[in-house]
A and B are shown apart, each in its own frame.
Chain A
Amino acid sequence: MPAQVITITSGKGGVGKTTAVANIAVALASGKSKVVCIDGDIGLRNLDVILGLENRIVYDIVDVIEGRCRLKQAMIRDKKLPDLYLIPAAQTRDKSAVSASDMTRLVRDLRADYDFVLIDSPAGIERGFRNAIAAADRVLVITNPEVSAVRDADRVIGILESEEKGPASLILNRLNPALVKSKDMLSPEDVLDLLAIELIGIVPEDENVIIASNRGAPVAYDMKNRAGQAFRNIAKRLKGENVPFLDLDAQGSLWERIQRLAGRK
């Protein structure tokens, strides 16, 4: 079966696009899928460090496009997962080095041999974003439960619809269940109500995500971690499996658990 090409984008920067791409890629490749991820953020390369592959880069995406190397030479194989590859962004060039048709051509050459091509989009709605969505079969919009991130996500969803790249699916990242409970954070229902798109995953806020990126080993490797579990569930849903959403209330504080045991909640 030819690859599914999935772009992850957000509008606003810093909501977790690169982290999500790395984790979903790790989860898919751990589950026997052949995965290539492409860092679409030319000039602000980052997916390599999140995946812990920064020391292995020789060629990058612009070298492929400009014919300085073959596609295979720019594909870095992951240290742990033999079915996971990264095509890094160029660090010393800008977005004008790549066009939408370059991306489409590159992806076309990958389709036959892999199950998933994941494209990490840059923030914003300019050229880099347009390039990143050009080749996509499906787009995942990632946001945080905050006013600025939700607003920007809405803008991106609107553009995706007018470019006929919709319907997009939503990843709600960095949800803090305690804050939602005390009504100091937008709930998943609130965000879905506002954005009116389909949900594909809710990822709880978790300090282990930062620790994992410090180490260059995405949290999806950690079978006990809930954020990792949330990303693994997204990967399963991308493969068409029907996985229920995590019950984020289940963890709670010790006091909340005691209250629940006592039947007070």
Chain B
Amino acid sequence: MSFFERLLGKKKSADSAKERLQLVLIHDRTDLTPAELDSLRDDLIATISRHVAIDAQAVQIDVEHDGRSQRLIADIPLKAARRKSRKTR
């Protein structure tokens, strides 16, 4: 990098290429569209709610990337349990 480029903070083109590709490839490798992810989220909330009380507003569902593989990460906080057992005692 020349003195002026450093002064202007201009990045070398190979670095821009790599950074841009990193973002584009993450997007390309994701099989789920945001709309599909939303509908999956709604289905998950509905299914889980039938079994336990959950905080639907706080549910987080994301696709995480690790090299070529992707995984679905779901963070589903349960609502504070109503301690039935204690009341009955």
| A binding-site residues for B, Cβ under 8 Å | 146-147, 150-151, 154-155, 157-158, 161, 180, 182-187, 190, 193-194, 196-197
Expressed in whole angstroms, the Cα–Cα distance for A190 and B22 within the complex equals: 10
Q: Give min CB distance, B32 to chain A, whole Å.
A: 14
B28–A147 CB distance below 8 A? no
Of the residues B12, B14, B18, B28, contact of A154 by C-beta under 8 Å = B28
The 10 closest A-B CB pairs, nearest first, are A183-B12, A196-B67, A183-B14, A184-B13, A190-B18, A196-B68, A154-B25, A147-B17, A194-B21, A186-B14
A150-B21, A194-B21, A194-B25 known; A187+B68 contact, CB < 8 A: no
* Closest Cβ neighbor of B12 among chain A residues: A183
User: In residues 1-56 of chain B, which contact A (Cβ within 8 Å)?
Assistant: 1, 12-15, 17-18, 20-22, 24-25, 28-29
- Interface size range on B against A: 10 to 19
Within 8 A of A (CB), among B41-89: 67-68
In contact, A158 and B21 (Cβ under 8 angstroms): no
**A151-B25, A154-B29 known; A161-B68 Cβ under 8 A:** yes
* A197 to B67 CA separation, bound complex (whole angstroms): 10
Closest to B14 in A: A183
How far apart are the CA atoms of A184 and B17 in the complex, in Å? 9
Q: A197's closest neighbor in chain B, by CB?
A: B68
**Contact call B28/A155, Cβ cutoff below 8 A:** yes
For A185, what are the chain B residues with a Cβ–Cβ distance below 8 Å? 13-14
Given known A158-B68, A196-B67, contact A183–B25 (CB-CB < 8 A)? no
Query: Chain A's nearest CB lies how many Å from the CB of B25?
Result: 5
Contact A183 B15 (CB under 8 A): yes
Residue numbers in B under 8 Å from A180 (CB-CB): 14
Residue with the greatest number of chain A CB neighbours at <10 A, chosen from B24, B29, B68: B68
